[in-house]
Amino acid sequence: MRTAPRGRQNKKRYNTTMHEDEQDTPGVSIHAGFPNPAADKSLTGLDLHQLLVQRTASTYIFRIRGDAWQNVGISDGDIAVVDRALSPRPTDLVVWWHGVTSEFAISHPQHMPAGAEAWGVVTSTIHQFRKGDQ
């Protein structure tokens, strides 16, 4: 560890200690205390719509029910972002509609039952750790 130079002591100067590998990490800024958005104009906001939705007109949100997909990290209550404009690939998860049971379900395209119609491709899932006032 290296200590910042002490120089002349002044009430507005603080002595900080940092690890050598923290000093020159590109794209990483270290902050202490409450952030002031006006202080750093280079920071951009995080827009979840821009991050998760490529095509607004063909994107839908579904709430997942059941634990069948826990082995791939999708839990009961998670949110699936589904794009109807995408063609399914074999490794994609797809939402499909089964007319006999009149319900939506999720699987890989090759595991859809006979008579099921691929409805859209799952592009993202959102897992909430705390919901509402819990």
Give the tens place of pLDDT for each residue, 10-44: 444 444 455 554 455 565 666 677 766 666 666 67
Which tokens in the block code for residue 58? 């063909």
> Domain ranges in the chain?
48-126
pTM of the model: 0.64
| 48-126 CATH, one of 3.40.50.2000, 2.10.109.10, 3.30.360.10, 3.40.50.300 | 2.10.109.10
Kindly report which listed range (18-27, 97-106, 117-126) carries the lowest average pLDDT score.
18-27
What percent helix, strand, coil does the chain show, rounded to 5?
15, 25, 60
Asked if residue 18 lies in contact with residue 31, where contact means CB atoms within 8 angstroms, the answer is: no
Distance CA 121, CA 112 (A): 13
